[in-house]
Structure formats: C-alpha cells, structure tokens
Amino acid sequence: MISTKRAYNFNAGPSALPIEVLQKAQEELVNFNNSGMSIMEMSHRSKDYDAVHNDAIARFKSLFSIPDNYEVLFLQGGGSLQFTMVPMNFLNEGQTASYILTGSWSEKALKEAKLLGQTQEAASTKENAYRNIPSLEDIKFSETDAYVHLTSNNTIYGTQWKEFPNTGEVPLVADMSSDILSKRIDVSSFGIIYAGAQKNLGPSGVTIVIIRKDLLEIAKTNIPTVLKYSTHSESNSLYNTPPTFGIYMLGEVLKWVEEKGGLEAIEKNNEEKAKLIYDVIDQSNGFYKGHADVESRSLMNITFRLADEELEKKFLAQAKEEGFVGLNGHRSVGGCRASTYNAVPYETCKALADFMIEFQSKNQ
C-alpha cells in the first residue's frame, strides 16, 4: 500500500491527485479487470479499454452538465497545442480573433494565433501587472470576429474569472486548464473549452476539449488531418493511440468527484480551502502581500510575496523542511504560490495557514 506519510503538495502542475485514486490505480496496475494485463498494456481497441474510455466521457458530461449539442474529445499536446489548433481550425482569412490578456498563458495563445491569421487584443490587464481580470465593459470585439479567447484562471498571477463575458453569436473559447471541474459553470456560454488534465482532472498527458457540434461543421478542412477537431470527433477520440493510462486515471478522478458530492461539494470545499490561506494574508498586516486584487483572486492559485527576497527564501526553506512542496512562485515572477486544486485536502491548506501564522510570529 502507499505510505500514509504524504507531502503537503501545492505543486502548480502536475499537481496533487486524490490518494484514493492513486491507491485504486496501484491495486489495478498489474492486472486490470482480471485481464492479466495493465491498462497500459492493452489495445486501445479492446473491449476493456473501450469501456473505460466511454465511461470517462459519460461521467465528465454528467458532472460538468454538458449539453447534448457538445462533443467531448480526449486529445494530447496540452493546452499549448490548443493554442494552435483553435486558430488553425477557425480563424479564416478576412476574419479577426480577439484575445483577452490576463497573464502569460493568454499571451502565449495570442502569439500562436498571430502566426495563423489576424488577431487583436480585446482587453488586457498587463499594465496592472496582471493583478486583475478586465471588467466586462472593457472587452472590445466585433460581431464578425472568428472567436473571443480567454484564460479562465491564471496560475502564475493568481487571478480567476468570476463572471464570463457574453459574446453573443461569436464563439467564446476558454482555456480552463487550471480550474476546470473546480466549480459549476454554464457550458452553453462557450463554443470551445479546453484543458490539460494535470491540475484537476488527472495526470499529465490528456487534454480534454469540449466543443459545440455546429462549430465542427464550419471548421476549415485544408489543414493536417490529426489537427482537425472533426477527425477526433468522428473517431470518438480514437483516431490515433490515445493516452490510455491518463484517460483511465481521469475516469477514476471523476468517480472520486462523484463520491465527494459532485461539483457543488467540490466548489464549496475549494472556497473553504482558499479562505484559510487568504485570511492569513489579509490579517497579517502586510507581512504577506497578495498579488491579485481581492475581487479577482483565484481559488486555485494563491500568489503572495513577503517583505523581501531574503525573507521569502527563509520562508520557502523552512516550509520545505516542514514537508511543504511546490510553494515557490513561477520562475518568471518569483514570490510564493499555493496551488489548491481539487485534490489538495482541506487539512493540507490548514497546515499551510498554521505554518504561515507561526512563521510571521517568529519573523516580524
């Protein structure tokens, strides 16, 4: 069995997985479903794997309340490949794609789209060091745009959309890699949602795409076969060999979410976990300084600084000694970051909050 001694894992991704899921995978790793094989060894065309694959799709559709006019695809390449696939499939000559910039990942998405067609910035909070999400009235786009793209949660800067823009007939495309399945949303507000699995859904290697069926019908056809969404829709995401173990793990994570009470319970738990840490920051009289504006704070990535780099280094070093992992801020901005994804237990967040209070009392 897996040792009960577990790190306080705040890694930003790949990130914590539910211990129950890891234990289930350990039990089935060598002999899945009495097949005499691991799920990693069997054909992706086999009946055993086919059941796993389709069950994961069905559970995801049910948990995320996905309407019938949407497809769920299992792809590879992470969110980074989606930065290219979205404009490659939908940005036609003579059209413009609008991008809302709220951090590094939306910048990277825009950079890839510029290689494939005309783009514009619909809004940006870069001048404010990405401390906030743009107000809805500041978002500028045209009714003739190919789509409007946003990043729902910003892992590096610790901001998150609380309310999404209404783009009318223009498809809204969202990179939800770091907060998918962390709260309830109205999927019908989006044309496309995509997400890497490695934060809330499972291990790295699987990319999930939710796409409205009518968009599949208008996508460009003069692009490489494997980069067409329609290719994967028509083949039930089995056009080429899928990441079978990752999809198996994703299915087990979805079962875990169901057992925890579904998205309503997960969302409530995420709010409570984040509050533990934000309360310490807010009540520290400036000892800890949050990066994100209060109204834009993320429930998934809590970013903060201390008075100076030397104190931060001391904080991070002592935290590591106490068993905390992954508290360093992103290499591009420094500081500290606690990623409190779905599988990070409440007790782990409580332990961090207690450590932060104790560290402040000894270092003021």
- What pLDDT, in 10s, does the model give residues 287-326? 999 999 999 999 999 999 998 999 999 999 999 999 999 9
235-253 b/e with 16+ CB inside 10 Å = b?
A: ebbebeebbbbbbbbbbbb
Question: What is the per-residue pLDDT for 332?
Answer: 86
Q: H/E/C letters for each residue in 277-329?
A: HHHHHHCCCCCCEECCCHHHECCCEEEEECCCHHHHHHHHHHHHHCCEECCEC
Task: Domains for the chain: give ranges and CATH numbers.
Answer: 22-258 (3.40.640.10), 262-363 (3.90.1150.10)
CA dihedral 77, 66, 189, 120 (to 10 degrees): 10
**pLDDT at residue 2 above 50?**
no
Catalytic position from the list 145, 161, 175, 273 = 175
Mean pLDDT for the stretch of residues 168-194: 98
**pLDDT at residue 359 above 70?**
yes
**pLDDT at residue 37 above 70?**
yes
Ranges 6-10, 329-333, 337-341: which has the least confidence = 329-333
pLDDT band at 5 (very low <50, low <70, confident <90, very high): confident
Mean pLDDT for the stretch of residues 101-128: 98
The Cα 162–Cα 152 span in angstroms is 9
Question: What is the per-residue pLDDT for 4?
Answer: 62
From residue 307, alpha-carbon distances to 159, 180, 265, 314, 354 in Å are 21, 33, 36, 11, 19
**Runs of H (alpha helix) within the chain:** 19-28, 47-63, 78-90, 104-114, 213-218, 229-234, 244-259, 262-282, 309-321, 346-363
The Cα 258–Cα 74 span in angstroms is 20
Mean pLDDT for the stretch of residues 175-194: 98
Catalytic position from the list 145, 161, 183, 199 = 199
Q: What is the pLDDT of residues 80-100, one digit of tens each?
A: 999 999 999 999 999 999 999
* Percentage of residues in the chain having pLDDT higher than 70: 99
**pLDDT at residue 345 above 70?**
yes
Q: What is the pLDDT of residues 123-171, one digit of tens each?
A: 999 999 999 999 999 999 999 999 999 999 999 999 999 999 999 999 9
- Rounded mean pLDDT of the chain? 97
Q: What is the pLDDT of residues 220-259, one digit of tens each?
A: 999 999 999 999 999 999 999 999 999 999 999 999 999 9
Question: What is the per-residue pLDDT for 129?
Answer: 96
For this structure, is 199 an active site residue?
A: yes
